[in-house]
């Protein structure tokens, strides 16, 4: 599924001036992480990643356009350009380790060991995000800074000695952790506490750095951290170094945010955080979130074509996001088998007062530092348009699985565990009714307890399903004094008994069963069953119960029981979405419904009716390979997943004087991407590899004129622009020829990205006209200041708002530069 960029384990969610965006390109994520240490030149970044500068500049330009990074020239008299981060990272992925998983497991088994109240939930939240590799570092740092600012008046202005004494008292009261002064020059502190402080050192040190800066106007950074822990306790020695304060780029978050925003969802699958970006798959997850549904119900709920839903479901089944299981009648149902962490569901809506109230309330509480982080993080994420209730449900379910793993597996025992942790948090539970089972949650008047109440809902839901092996839906209602949660069982005929270690070979001799699925469903589940990642067992729906492997077993019994096992390994044959009207027929002239799944090395035979001028074929590594029929039938040996599409002839200019490059992209590229692409295949190599010149729906042809010539339309209608490189999505270029560039031409040098006559331009462009209308500046959003410099060095400035401007060429040469819009 990762090949479609629908489920990604490497991602970053950023706050830009344009809103919240999901960064999914690995190279852009690497560049952003590289710039977290400070501004760098393109050559520095290129050397760090060992990639060509030409490839890097394309990445940098895209990131500047998106508002992720900013380009600056510290010295206008020099050409050196520096890049620095502008966007703030809200969340991201990182590689977790076994220690984080072990620490998290211990925390969930006994969350009240070190904390009480909401801090116990906060500890579970903090350890869980570390376990699954969900990075919240910049939010943690931002919280520590803003929390320290709330003590600014309490500390006042003073010297470093007095400041440390005051900060030490505040720190001990708010965190429950002590530190002692090892030295003041350089500043060195020793922290002492329980083992939990190891995972909180980034926030602790950031709090002290900010508090010292507020009091003394001195700026420090952490130089090193040494661990002196032993059996008697945890001790961390931290060395600080004084630095010159560097102003951070100003991120203007007050800009108007429209209702258009990118939808995405952070989930946990196989114990690892990931990102889903496909709109169709997000709709499918929403549809089956509460309960499993059959394909017809999903189609009706989403209102999308059945073929679209089916193809996406198959990919989600194979990845493990969706599980397939069956009723006693054999009907297939699709249920969620991943955990939703949070969902971007609305535009940004800032409520700074709410955040201020949170910081103010925890300031006066004893040992409330971690509670403040928890409440602050949820409030900030809500401001950014995220629905975080999902995370609370997951935490409650995660606790119930850890706590209920040992001891009796009945609801009475589970309810006792629920009541104990609810009391630690500051809530109390009672049974309101037995049928339907309704649990009352008391002490719900305080708004700060809302996340804890959602935590209890997930915990109760998980406990009930663990005790009964059933699937339940819940509903809530209540009064100011008490909130009631009612549970109703659905699909009682579906077994929820786990089956450990299911292997395909163990099911080979299963008894025949009624076949209710397509071969594509069979293949998807087989591919999923063959994965051996060493990760925890998949979880069921949003409450993440380990109960779905039985359905994998059942499906394999259905799928392979009546076969000889010839499709133990299989590939998918599909049709490209753009090849509308392309219909295939089997040996009986019956229409084949795509996609189909066939065994490895199998030969498929079919008919296809297409226009005489076209062919059908497959695209691989940028080259289109036509298929040739024999007696009106096509035969293909399937040795990998293939997608068949309609191919059209590529017709190049008959004249010489040019080099042609061809490439078939996976999806239609933008003009900018196509112009910057460096891996076009020469026409000779293309013909040698494929046997002809054919292109698919996303084929692009580039013509590079040689020896001082340009690409020109045939006839009297000459273009005023002398295109030395012509990029075309039209595969018929027979109406173009190569001509010499006339002596009386003008040269425009574009420093930045522009569109001229609808075509992307960067660098040198020759023209036969002085006056040019409709040129568009596209490097950044306006307003910006353009500067034109003619051959005599005369500078002219022009302020533009929407990117469009008119240009007059003075002399025979002019350079167009721009000044980045300075952030106030």
Q: Tokens 């089997």 map to which residue?
A: 586
pLDDT, mean of residues 603-632: 82
622: alpha, beta or left, given left = phi > 0 and alpha = psi -120 to 50?
A: left
Q: Classify residue 237 by its DSSP letter.
A: E
Report the chain's terminal Cα–Cα distance, integer Å: 42
| b/e 594-614 (16+ beta carbons within 10 angstroms → b) | bbbbbeeebebebbbeeeeee
pLDDT of amino acid 141: 94
pLDDT, mean of residues 90-107: 90
pTM of the model: 0.63
Contact assessment for residue 785 and residue 720, using Cβ atoms and an 8 Å cutoff: no
pLDDT of amino acid 407: 72
pLDDT at 549 over 90: no
Give the residue, 727 or 488, on which the prediction is more confident: 727
Give the model's confidence band at 524: pLDDT under 50 very low, under 70 low, under 90 confident, else very high.
low
**pLDDT averaged over the chain?**
80
pLDDT, mean of residues 226-237: 89
Write the pLDDT tens digit of every residue in 611-621. 666 788 899 88
pLDDT of amino acid 502: 30
Strands in 697-794 per DSSP E: 699-705, 709-713, 721-722, 725-728, 736-740, 746-756, 759-767, 771-777, 784-790
Strand pairing report for 642-649 and 570-575: parallel
Write the pLDDT tens digit of every residue in 658-695. 999 999 998 888 888 898 888 999 999 999 999 899 99
Write the pLDDT tens digit of every residue in 334-354. 888 889 999 998 888 877 788
CB atoms within 10 A of CB 171: 23
What span, in angstroms and rounded, lies between the C-alpha atoms of 668 and 674? Answer: 9
Please report, rounded to a whole number, the percentage of residues in the chain having pLDDT higher than 90. Answer: 33
Instruction: Please tell me whether the peptide bond between 621 and the residue prior to it is cis, using omega within 30 degrees of 0.
Output: no
From residue 169, how far is each of 152, 154, 158, 207 by CA, in Å?
A: 14, 11, 15, 13
Ramachandran angles phi, psi of 539, nearest 5°: -105, 160
Residue 108 structure tokens: 């969930």
pLDDT at 771 over 90: no
pLDDT at 506 over 50: no
Give the model's confidence band at 715: pLDDT under 50 very low, under 70 low, under 90 confident, else very high.
low
Write the pLDDT tens digit of every residue in 347-400. 888 777 889 999 999 999 999 999 999 999 999 999 999 999 999 999 999 999
Q: Tokens 């498929």 map to which residue?
A: 604
Give the residue, 211 or 546, on which the prediction is more confident: 211
Write the pLDDT tens digit of every residue in 440-489. 888 755 677 888 889 998 898 888 888 876 677 788 876 656 788 888 77
Write the pLDDT tens digit of every residue in 244-259. 887 777 776 665 555 6
pLDDT of amino acid 735: 86
Lowest mean pLDDT among 543-557, 585-599, 616-630, 708-722: 543-557
pLDDT of amino acid 577: 67
pLDDT of amino acid 287: 92
pLDDT at 717 over 70: no
Task: For residue 273, count CB atoms less than 10 angstroms from its CB and return exposed for 0-12, middle for 13-18, buried for 19 or more.
Answer: buried
pLDDT of amino acid 241: 94
pLDDT at 425 over 80: yes
Describe the crossing of helices 118-132 and 369-383 by its angle, rounded to 10 degrees.
60
What span, in angstroms and rounded, lies between the C-alpha atoms of 379 and 90? Answer: 12
């Amino acid at each position: 599924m990762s090949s479609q960029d629908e489920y990604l384990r490497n991602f970053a969610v950023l706050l830009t001036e344009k809103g919240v965006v999901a960064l999914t390109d690995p190279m852009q994520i690497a560049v952003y992480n590289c710039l977290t240490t400070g501004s760098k030149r393109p050559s520095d970044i290129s050397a760090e990643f060992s990639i060509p500068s030409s490839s890097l500049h394309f990445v940098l330009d895209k990131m500047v356009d998106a508002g992720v990074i900013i380009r600056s020239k510290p010295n206008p008299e020099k050409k050196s350009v520096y890049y620095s981060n502008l966007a703030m990272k809200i969340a991201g992925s990182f590689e977790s380790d076994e220690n984080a998983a072990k620490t998290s497991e211990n925390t969930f088994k006994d969350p009240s060991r070190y904390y009480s109240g909401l801090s116990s939930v906060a500890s579970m939240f903090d350890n869980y995000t570390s376990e699954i590799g969900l990075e919240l570092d910049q939010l943690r740092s931002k919280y520590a800074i803003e929390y320290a600012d709330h003590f600014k008046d309490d500390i006042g202005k003073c010297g470093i000695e007095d400041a440390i004494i005051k900060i030490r008292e505040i720190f001990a009261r708010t965190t429950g952790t002590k530190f002692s002064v090892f030295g003041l020059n350089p500043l060195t502190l020793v922290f002492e506490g329980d083992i939990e402080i190891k995972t909180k050192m980034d926030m602790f040190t950031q709090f002290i750095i900010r508090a010292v800066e507020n009091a003394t106007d001195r700026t420090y950074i952490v130089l090193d951290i040494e661990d002196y822990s032993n059996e008697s306790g945890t001790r961390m020695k931290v060395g600080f170094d004084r630095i010159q304060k560097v102003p951070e780029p100003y991120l203007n978050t007050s800009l108007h945010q429209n209702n258009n925003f990118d939808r995405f969802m952070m989930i946990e699958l196989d114990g690892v955080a990931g990102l889903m970006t496909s709109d169709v798959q997000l709709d499918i997850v929403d549809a089956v979130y509460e309960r499993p549904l059959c394909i017809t119900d999903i189609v009706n709920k989403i209102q999308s074509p059945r073929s679209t839903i089916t193809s996406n479901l198959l990919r989600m089944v194979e990845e493990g996001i969706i599980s397939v299981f069956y009723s006693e009648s054999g009907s297939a149902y699709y249920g969620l088998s991943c955990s939703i962490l949070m969902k971007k569901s609305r535009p940004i809506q800032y409520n700074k007062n709410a955040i201020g109230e949170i910081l103010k309330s925890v300031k006066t509480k004893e040992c409330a530092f971690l509670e403040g982080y928890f409440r602050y993080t949820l409030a900030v994420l809500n401001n950014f348009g995220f629905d975080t209730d999902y995370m609370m449900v997951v935490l409650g379910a995660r606790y119930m699985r850890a706590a209920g793993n040992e001891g009796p597996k009945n609801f009475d025992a589970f309810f006792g565990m629920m009541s104990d942790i609810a009391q630690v948090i500051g809530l109390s539970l009672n049974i309101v009714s037995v049928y339907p089972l309704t649990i009352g949650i008391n002490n719900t008047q305080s708004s700060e307890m809302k996340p804890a109440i959602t935590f209890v809902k997930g915990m109760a839901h998980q406990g009930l399903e663990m005790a009964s092996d059933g699937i339940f839906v819940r509903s809530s209602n209540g009064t100011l004094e008490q909130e009631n949660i009612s549970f109703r069982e659905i699909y009682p005929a579906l077994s929820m008994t786990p089956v450990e270690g299911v292997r395909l070979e163990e099911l080979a001799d299963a008894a025949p069963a009624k076949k209710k699925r397509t071969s594509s469903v069979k293949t998807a589940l087989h591919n999923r069953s063959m994965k051996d990642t060493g990760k925890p067992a998949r979880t069921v729906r949003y409450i993440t119960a380990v109960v779905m492997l039985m359905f994998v077993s059942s499906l394999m019994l259905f799928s392979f029981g009546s076969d000889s096992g010839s499709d133990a390994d299989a590939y998918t044959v599909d049709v490209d979405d753009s090849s509308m009207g392309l219909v295939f027929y089997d040996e009986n002239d019956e229409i084949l419904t795509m996609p189909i799944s066939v065994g490895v090395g199998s030969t498929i035979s079919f008919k296809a009716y297409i226009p005489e001028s076209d062919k059908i074929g497959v695209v691989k590594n940028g080259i289109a390979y036509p298929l040739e029929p024999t007696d009106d039938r096509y035969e293909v040996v399937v040795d990998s997943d293939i997608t068949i599409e309609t191919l059209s002839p590529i017709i190049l200019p008959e004249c010489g004087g040019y080099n042609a490059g061809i490439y078939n992209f996976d999806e239609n590229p933008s003009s900018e991407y196509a112009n910057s692409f460096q891996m076009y295949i020469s026409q000779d190599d293309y013909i040698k590899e494929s046997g002809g010149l054919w292109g698919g729906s996303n084929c692009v042809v580039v013509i590079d004129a040689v020896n001082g010539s340009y690409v020109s339309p045939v006839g009297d209608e000459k273009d005023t622009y002398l295109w030395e490189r012509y990029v075309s999505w039209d595969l018929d270029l027979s109406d173009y020829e190569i001509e010499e560039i006339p002596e009386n031409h003008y040269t425009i040098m574009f420093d930045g990205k522009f569109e001229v006559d609808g075509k992307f331009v960067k660098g040198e462009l020759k023209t036969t006209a002085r006056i040019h209308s409709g040129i568009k500046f596209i490097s950044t959003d306006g307003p910006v200041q353009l500067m034109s410099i003619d051959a005599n060095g005369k500078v002219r400035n022009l302020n533009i708002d929407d990117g469009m401007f008119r240009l007059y060429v003075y002399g025979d040469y002019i350079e167009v530069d721009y000044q980045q819009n300075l952030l106030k």
